[in-house]
Structure 1
Amino acid sequence: MLKRYFFLLSLLVCSGLMAQVTRPRNGVWDERTGSYAFTNATLFTDYQTRIDGATLVIRDGKVVAAGANVAVPPGAAVIDLAGRFVYPGLIDVYTDYGMPQLEGNAGGGRRRRSGGPQMESEKEGVYSWNQAVHPEDEAVELFKTNTKQADELRKLGFGAVLTFPHDGIARGSALLVNLAEPSTGNPTETILKARAAAAYSFNKGSSTQDYPSSLMGSIALLRQTYYDAQWYANATDKEPNLSLDAWLRQQALPQVFETDNKLDLLRADNVGDEFGVQYIIKTAGDEYQRLDAIKATGASLIVPLEFPKPYDVEDPFDASLVTNEQMKHWEMAPANAAWLAREGLTFALTTADLKEKKAFTGNLKKAMQYGLSFRDALRALTETPARLLGVEDQLGSLRPGWQANFLIASDSLFKDETVLYENWIGGARYVLTPMQADLRGTYQLQVGNGPSLKLEITGQPDKAKAQVYLDTTKTATTLQAEGELVTMSFVPVRKGKKRVSLSGWREEQNLMGEGTDTSGTPVKWRATYTGPAPADTTRPANRKAPEVPEMGELVYPFMAYGWDTLPTAETVLIRNATVWTNEADGVLETTDVLVRNGKIAAVGQGLSATGATVVDGTGKHLTSGIIDEHSHIAISRGVNEGTHAVTAEVRVGDVVNSEDINIYRQLAGGVTAAQLLHGSANPIGGQSELVKLRWGRLPEELKIEGADEYIKFALGENVKQSNWGDANRVRFPQTRMGVEQVYVDAFQRAKEYDRAWKNYNGLSRRQRANAKAPHRDLQLEALAEILNDARFITCHSYIQSEINMLLHVADTMGFKVNTFTHILEGYKVADKMKAHGAGAGTFSDWWAYKYEVIGAIPYNAAIMDKVGVVTAINSDDAEMARRLNQEAAKTIKYGGLSEEEAWKTVTLNPAKLLHLDDRMGSIKVGKDADLVLWSDHPLSIYAKPEQTYVDGILYFDLARDRQMREEMQQERQRIIQKMLQAKGSGEKGQQPRPSRNGTWDCEVILDIWAIDGE
């Protein structure tokens, strides 16, 4: 028996995959296909089908049969797996196994280049104009087997992986391989599917080309590439483009998209929806924070099991550096997969993001402790990844014809005490832990001519314990087993010290061999099996599953001041307040305002409403909400795409960050709406987004429904970039004269583009069938919208001469400038602005912070207002926006505006500039109930917003704010204690560090916080 075992062992090690090959071999062929029958196993043919006492038959690397009544075929090597478990091999669909190591800053963020701007791609050949778009890269051409990586993954139970370089926005095709070592050394033997998926991300990766430098630039580049490919597919007079050729070929493959956080996941899905693509989205493990929204995408997910380590919070100062979001994510992240399963989302699990792959098993067990079931865990590692890649007829299950990828384990997979014995991959055997014979049972032990003794072997096969009895007395017994070999010793005499030492092997169910007695005399011995071992009473027969650890409440957004339940609109009656209507009625004393269904329902005295929440406004002032016409809050990863002179294709609306704490802070300052603007790094920047500050809602829910579309232009020193140093004198324009030519050129091209589309759309259906549609250009499309009064300009400006220049260009090219923002020399050209129809958004009293504002005066706003220019006071600064009421008050001191005129500069006037004055900016029946209840006169430095309503929903309440501060402090202390306990129990911690998330203004150029996500 022993010899037969070792023969089988050598045979199995030699066997490998029987791949069809098209190459000669230098030497003789010795491919032993083999036929094997694994009997008496507890077999899982898939994640939900368990068969006890089953037989699995494989031949030539494929499953032949699997079931309870399977006959062992003649000539098959039989391996008895009594007491063992067999599972389908695991699949990881997000790895870089066998890929070349990436150079540069491919992992995240934006490379800072010292050699000046790189405007064009440096990749030679007929490829994409942008280095971050390289769908022509095919993992199958780059792949080399990596024994170290393969061994690491095999030990975790993986038999097949999807692999590709994790670099760039369009990353090319991914390769599906198994983790066997090729018998010939040629990696083609391991390839299961040469082109198994196409891969994407928002991360430009190792590209040294400047564009894109922001998240919104990455999204614009991806969208434009889709449109380029659509045109290219049907164009006849096109130049060769190997990137677009590859892109089009890959659209039939599963589309895998990597994201950095839950909001990026939603952004990726939006891109997919625009082009009819359902991405498989690799997530960041924070999906639980927005489950409903993510479930609504319908996307299948690839979920990492990387959990944050507890923070070192022994020092109170260190603890203060850990944000509420970080604390709560540490506590809740392990439950992510369980919550996804509970909501019925389709997901696969991956080792991606783990610094050490060996942590995967422990983290998976932790996820199961937090509620992930065995069934869902096994499905996420077998059937689901196979189905996502369209190979569910090859992998993920053990059925006839499927790949012979399976695991042999000592017990139920993922248990703490379970041992992985072997990982079979395509019929090749990889021993992870030597499999011990199952010696458990009761025996009659005969040593030489001595008395018959009782022997019991109990425990687990790999940790078996022996006990020899003298009558009913236990003796000191030791047991070691390796394969079929057994070594045992015991003391045969009560209170004796000399031991009997035995060595032997297993034959059938009996044990036998030779040894020495207490005097060292050689003896033969035999242990005859008499029955099963007694039940192990040291382990409860029905152990209860561990309880899911206690966790705090989910809040929206997932950070400080988040809601445990999102607020809803109510009927509200505010009584006896001083009401600033901003209408002809002016300021009304002791007046009531009724809010119903998010609108102002009535304004007057003595109002009543059944079931209304009544708010006492006695001694307080009620105004419409402040509107910030020029803001840069709530924008994710870059406010400037300043790499090109014209970037009209980028959209702030793609990167709205609903989890910016400045939303809440500005609600606390009475702000209810804002225009989120692109920065001022180029003459024509990106498209704006108009939002209401609906704290806790998703990015799309912040956007103002039906609002007009805007775009950012800029003048001055920022856009020409000539003062950025000698290395940056590459990008055109470099002078203020050049800025004018950028505008003229851009609008001339836009006119031609607009004319081409109008001519095409004017054709009849029959004519259009024989005509070629123009190439859709997102940049020119936005500029054409300006020409057609469908998009409106907000222009960063300072100097009188440049303002005159843009007015001249606008008049010449046939468009209007809606708003000049900053415009600190507006008092010099107010008459021309009024004649053109342009409004102004300005600062109250900023000057001398750079040379081009040397002509600024604090009377600027009042002068423009008195000339008849619609004038607003804006922030351009997250901090200033919290006190825009005080900024408005300065126009009374500097220029003598009345109180009502001053108040309109931050309410009704910005509403007019944003074409929203029919809906907001004043207190009038039918308008949106965007209201602020102030403790004092709203233009006073002592005034505090006590309540701020948006659409009739109370989003800020001063009393609730105080209560939340206490609750958050209690929550922080609770989690800190948990962290301290975790550290005390041996978990490795991490050092807190200050958050690098920053605030934007016009002149922040680089995406310097990109690595930290939102």
Structure 2
Amino acid sequence: MRKIKLLLSGLLLASLLQAQETFPVNGLADKRNGCYAFTHATIVQNAQNSLQNATLVIREGKIVAVGASVTVPQDAVVIDCKNKYIYPSFIDIYTDYGITTPQRQPFVFNYNAPAQLNSNTKGAYNWNQAIRPEVNAYQQFTADDAKAKTFRELGFGTVLTHVKDGIARGTGAVVLLGKDKDNLMLVKERASAHYSFNKGSSTQSYPSSLMGSIALLRQTYLDAQWYKNKPSTEGVNISLQAFNDNQNLPQIFEAEDKWNDVRADRIGDEFGVQYILKGGGNEYQRIKEMAATKAAFILSLNFPQAMDVEDPADARLVSLSDMKNWELAPTNPGALEKANIPFCLTTADLHDTKQFYTNLRKAFENGLSEAKALEALTKTPATLLGVYDKVGSLETGKLANFIITSDSVFSEKAVILQNWIQGAKYGVKEDAWNDIKGVYNLVLNSENGTSNYTLDVKNNNTANVIGKDTLTGKFSYDGKLVKLSFSATPAKKPMVAAIGGMNNGVGAQYRLSGTINGDTWNGLGEDTAGNRITWTVTFVRAAAPDTAKKKMTPHQQLGKVTYPFDGYGWEEAPKQENLLIKNATVWTNEKEGKLENTDVLVKDGKIAKVGKNLSDGSAKVIDATGKHVTAGIIDEHSHIAAMSINEGAQSVTSEVRIADNLNPEDINIYRQLSGGVTSSHILHGSANTIGGQTQLIKLRWGVDDEALKFKGADPFIKFALGENVKRTTSMANNRFPDTRMGVEEVLNDAFTRAKDYEREMKADPKTTRRDLELDALVEILNKKRFITCHSYVQSEITAAMRIGDKYGFTFNTFTHILEGYKVADKMKAHGSNASTFSDWWAYKTEVQDAIAYNAAIMYKVGLNVCINSDDAEMARRLNQEAGKTVKYGGVPEEDALKMVTLNPAKALHVDNKVGSIKAGKDADLVIWSDHPLSIYAKSEKTIVDGIVYFDREKDLEQRRKITAERTRLINKLQAEKRSGAPMRPAEPSYQVLLGCGDHSERGGLITIEQDDIETLNQ
């Protein structure tokens, strides 16, 4: 007995200790450790397991028992859940709930404003304001019941919250959505680490581009690894320490676009990190690439709202890709499910959270299963965050987080009745708890007698009272009180004596109220004469099942995903073929020169033979009689197919890479194929002295960004001289340099630092801080990376070459070079190539001395001369630009053609692969309708690696398909409007054309994006 007493005392003490807390009580303590038993329910433990007629028991905020044969504790409050469903409450993995939203200023690049070069953050933090890994959401979290209520009404009980600000954003916390003290709502303080490409509220100038954000994040990883050794040169860096401390947490990256998903994943792969990717809703457009990331995704249900395109003037400005995305975006979750890619669902990005279930059902209609949706809202987020032992399913020992619904939770008729969070009840629509639908007998009693009616209850707010006729009235049940009023006389009928003799007047009106006790209702009331009435209702039978079929929208076939996701995209990518081009005039660019009536055989993507009367049974024959065949045009200086061009916030940004932000869906790839271009050298802009690393691409329309890259090509980098660099037109330039002399000194300083860095890396590679900026410059010193330099004025060109001679490297190519004719002999001695415009001049002070004979003069001096575009539209006419050198300077036709084919291949060190028609080289070819330097010449077929990426006949066919598809989608959008669905005004689809001087992806020439209705060269 003594042992039992001791045991009971111990349990009591444990209970008291458990009840203790640090907060003082002002008044009377009211500690309730309730025990509840929810009986006779359908309990959905998780997406795979459901229990019928089961019981759930909770005590002190936790589940203590769940099953079909659970014994109900004697002290439990029993809640009968007959005909009810119990689900684990949902988890939203991507919120900023309970966090003060950072104040952001809209990004507007102001060329005339001074740059903010240093961080404004005070303390021992990172040098860049956008790197904020030391921020912890749990330290800022405050429960917000108004916002929590919005989540609870949707069925959520738990969220991950974080500060949505910066590139490295710190840690997130898992919190509950209850009303209790903030500390009791925290489930896991440091649950995740967060990243994005968006610098957020940072006012610091760097980074100002997508590739700058990527470079900054990459450098931060390297700096954090270096900081692990506590280098004395760094001292204390709170940010780098936090960055390292956060690496053992789940890593969540806000990508917000399918290509950013891929970009983020590549950073993760580089540093051994597997990100959880917050997608942008367009992942379905590149599902193969999404699967290759091996990532779990966070998907919003923020589907595009239909646009009002009734006015044809509005409709013509909306691109086909935008209309296709409206139609296909609801397929996104289903596409990931089909591809076996794990994902969570979030309310993030919804303009109105009330659209959550509406859009979820759209996803169901478009391929998402209910089981996967439930998993995406419960188990998957809990597992990813390491809290599945606490939430995410209904199992013994877990937090009592669950919702009670009137039906299967995703059913259209389902109502969330209650949301229990940590054992505390939060009513949602409790008035719908009792399902009172059915047919009843209503009896009214008064001094004058008794009257009987039939009461047909449709729902808690609708019922019909039936006597001899159906009578008009009002009905409501709020879960506590029943209210009913009706007229004893049907509407629009003569007023006659009251029914049943209860009232001697005519047209009696009854007002009743009362309560429900099981199947019996009773209460009091009055008629219009003031007579008191008692009434009872008894159950007769259940409501007849609703046999009326829901009006279904006729099934409409969805459009197909194309690659790229554009009118001119492929449903199936073109295949490499063996081709035999017959009877053409072939411009070989080799010693054989121009060959008449000649054949070109293409096999396995290479030029196999060039000659007359060739044959090959495996090859598709193309009759080119009367046509001309040339090597594909190579544009040495282009800015297409990139999301950003300039990272101009610092004088030296050699760490940034165009390759990091290629845009394989830029319509200019296709347009330039129509002009015979097969390769383009995508350059960083000219905003700073040492810009970013360039990327040579092949115009393989439809591939991903990685497959665009010209494999095996030497790496290049962009330098710049002159007005753009020293910001001549800026009235408030505070970024060094400010003169042409300063530009020269920036180069001197950069390569001095690079030589010192190289020496330190060789002496002590383990403890020397890896610097991506200097890595690229060391590659130049070691002739592993080559320079293409924006230039105009002879004096600065000469100065630049002297810098190269001083440090032992060559300026490989001077581009623009409009005063090249003045220094051609010096350039030849230095070993430079020239890449110039055919006849541009007078568009700024630096080019006043430009002449149309520049290219011809440099050619005659013996330089390797290229004609480039630096312009998305001009690139489609580079053959004509080359033809101008025949007029201005008398350059022979074949040598003129080489200026846009073989010569840029030589300048880019790829003339062993492209630039001429020779056996063994890549089959990058153009079949022209006329003399290739003629203004009448059209590219009939443009071939890259033996694949016909542009065919003028197929292009005409594709335009007809585009017209038909646009018509179909416009009709569908109009039908959506007629159905009464919410619409938004038509918005033009914009494309940003970036050039040398444009800053950030927001900065270029903005044009209406008529990608799918553009008329190509005719």
TM-score by length of 1: 0.92
Deviation at 1:806, TM superposition (A): 1.2
- 1:616 matched to 2:616: no
Aligned with 1:358: secondary structure? Answer: helix
CA distance in 1, matches of 2:861, 2:52: 90
Contact 2:563–2:571 (8 Å) recurs in 1: yes
Mean Cα deviation higher: 320-329 or 110-119:
110-119
- 1:194 matched to 2:189: yes
Deviation at 1:910, TM superposition (A): 0.4
Aligned with 1:712: secondary structure? Answer: strand
- 1:815 matched to 2:824: no
CA-to-partner distance for each residue in 1:227-274, whole Å, 9 max, x for gaps? 000100124424100001111111111111112311111111111111
Deviation at 1:176, TM superposition (A): 1.4
Deviation at 1:577, TM superposition (A): 0.8
Query: In structure 1, what is the equivalent of residue 436 of structure 2?
Result: 439
Mean Cα deviation higher: 705-714 or 25-34:
25-34
CA-to-partner distance for each residue in 1:562-617, whole Å, 9 max, x for gaps? 11111110111111111111111111111111112111122122222224221110
- 1:242 matched to 2:234: no
CA distance in 1, matches of 2:775, 2:911: 27
- 1:685 matched to 2:691: yes
CA-to-partner distance for each residue in 1:480-532, whole Å, 9 max, x for gaps? 323243345677899955466554333343333444589765454444556x5
Aligned with 1:234: secondary structure? Answer: coil
Give matches, 1:402-481, under 5 Å. Answer: 402-435=398-431, 436-440=433-437, 447-448=444-445, 459=458, 462=460, 465=463, 479-481=475-477
CA distance in 2, matches of 1:563, 1:705: 23
- 1:357 matched to 2:347: no
Contact 1:635–1:656 (8 Å) recurs in 2: yes
CA distance in 2, matches of 1:143, 1:596: 64
**Residues 736 and 74 of structure 1: CA distance in aligned 2, closer, same or farther (over 3 Å):** same
Give matches, 1:47-58, under 5 Å. Answer: 47-58=47-58
- Correspondence for 1:893 among 865, 872, 887: 887
Give matches, 1:837-916, under 5 Å. Answer: 837-916=831-910
Amino acid at match of 1:305: L
Query: In structure 1, what is the equivalent of residue 36 of structure 2?
Result: 36
Amino acid at match of 1:605: K
Query: In structure 2, what is the equivalent of residue 696 of structure 1?
Result: 702
Query: In structure 1, what is the equivalent of residue 514 of structure 2?
Result: 504
- Correspondence for 1:645 among 646, 651, 654: 651
- Correspondence for 2:738 among 734, 743, 748: 734
CA distance in 1, matches of 2:112, 2:684: 25
Contact 1:630–1:874 (8 Å) recurs in 2: yes
Aligned with 1:217: secondary structure? Answer: helix
- Correspondence for 2:632 among 609, 625, 639: 625
CA distance in 2, matches of 1:880, 1:417: 59
Query: In structure 2, what is the equivalent of residue 578 of structure 1?
Result: 585
Contact 2:297–2:344 (8 Å) recurs in 1: yes
**Residues 988 and 506 of structure 1: CA distance in aligned 2, closer, same or farther (over 3 Å):** closer
**Residues 898 and 21 of structure 1: CA distance in aligned 2, closer, same or farther (over 3 Å):** farther
Amino acid at match of 1:678: H
Query: In structure 2, what is the equivalent of residue 13 of structure 1?
Result: none
CA-to-partner distance for each residue in 1:531-575, whole Å, 9 max, x for gaps? x515324445xx799776431111111123111111110111111
CA distance in 1, matches of 2:125, 2:470: 79
Contact 1:782–1:791 (8 Å) recurs in 2: yes
Deviation at 1:1004, TM superposition (A): 1.6
CA-to-partner distance for each residue in 1:259-305, whole Å, 9 max, x for gaps? 23111111111111111111111111111111111111111111111
Aligned with 1:960: secondary structure? Answer: helix
Contact 1:478–1:489 (8 Å) recurs in 2: yes
CA distance in 2, matches of 1:451, 1:949: 94
- 1:746 matched to 2:740: no
- Correspondence for 1:554 among 557, 561, 564: 561
How many residues get paired?
973
Unmatched segments (≥5 aa) in structure 2: 1-17, 491-495, 500-506, 1010-1018
Amino acid at match of 1:599: K
Deviation at 1:406, TM superposition (A): 1.3
CA-to-partner distance for each residue in 1:803-844, whole Å, 9 max, x for gaps? 111111111111121111111121222222222211111111
Deviation at 1:67, TM superposition (A): 2.0
CA distance in 2, matches of 1:879, 1:64: 70
Amino acid at match of 1:84: K
CA-to-partner distance for each residue in 1:850-905, whole Å, 9 max, x for gaps? 12122222222122222221111111111110100011111111221111101100
Query: In structure 1, what is the equivalent of residue 599 of structure 2?
Result: 592
Query: In structure 2, what is the equivalent of residue 708 of structure 1?
Result: 714
CA distance in 1, matches of 2:470, 2:153: 39
Query: In structure 2, what is the equivalent of residue 254 of structure 1?
Result: 250
Query: In structure 2, what is the equivalent of residue 767 of structure 1?
Result: none
Contact 1:110–1:1010 (8 Å) recurs in 2: no
Amino acid at match of 1:559: D
Aligned with 1:615: secondary structure? Answer: strand
In angstroms, what is the RMSD of aligned CA positions? Answer: 2.5
Amino acid at match of 2:290: I
Mean Cα deviation higher: 593-602 or 444-453:
444-453
CA distance in 1, matches of 2:659, 2:141: 39
Contact 1:624–1:907 (8 Å) recurs in 2: yes
CA distance in 2, matches of 1:422, 1:40: 16
**Residues 529 and 617 of structure 1: CA distance in aligned 2, closer, same or farther (over 3 Å):** same
Contact 2:109–2:1003 (8 Å) recurs in 1: no
Aligned with 1:46: secondary structure? Answer: coil
Deviation at 1:329, TM superposition (A): 0.9
Query: In structure 1, what is the equivalent of residue 614 of structure 2?
Result: 607
Mean Cα deviation higher: 477-486 or 997-1006:
477-486
Contact 1:369–1:547 (8 Å) recurs in 2: no
Contact 2:258–2:283 (8 Å) recurs in 1: yes
CA distance in 1, matches of 2:783, 2:116: 35
Amino acid at match of 1:662: N
Query: In structure 2, what is the equivalent of residue 46 of structure 1?
Result: 46
- 1:270 matched to 2:249: no
Deviation at 1:628, TM superposition (A): 0.4
**Residues 537 and 242 of structure 1: CA distance in aligned 2, closer, same or farther (over 3 Å):** closer
Amino acid at match of 1:646: V
Query: In structure 2, what is the equivalent of residue 5 of structure 1?
Result: none
CA distance in 2, matches of 1:705, 1:403: 54
Deviation at 1:789, TM superposition (A): 1.1
CA distance in 2, matches of 1:254, 1:527: 58
CA-to-partner distance for each residue in 1:116-161, whole Å, 9 max, x for gaps? 1111111111101001111111111222222221122222221111
Deviation at 1:30, TM superposition (A): 1.2
Give matches, 1:897-936, under 5 Å. Answer: 897-936=891-930
TM-score by length of 2: 0.92
Query: In structure 2, what is the equivalent of residue 774 of structure 1?
Result: 768
Query: In structure 2, what is the equivalent of residue 796 of structure 1?
Result: 790
Amino acid at match of 1:959: E
Contact 2:994–2:1005 (8 Å) recurs in 1: no
Contact 1:444–1:452 (8 Å) recurs in 2: no
CA distance in 1, matches of 2:108, 2:209: 8
Amino acid at match of 2:393: S
**Residues 870 and 53 of structure 1: CA distance in aligned 2, closer, same or farther (over 3 Å):** same
CA distance in 1, matches of 2:827, 2:355: 64
CA distance in 1, matches of 2:333, 2:621: 44
Deviation at 1:402, TM superposition (A): 1.3
Contact 2:19–2:31 (8 Å) recurs in 1: no
Query: In structure 2, what is the equivalent of residue 209 of structure 1?
Result: 204
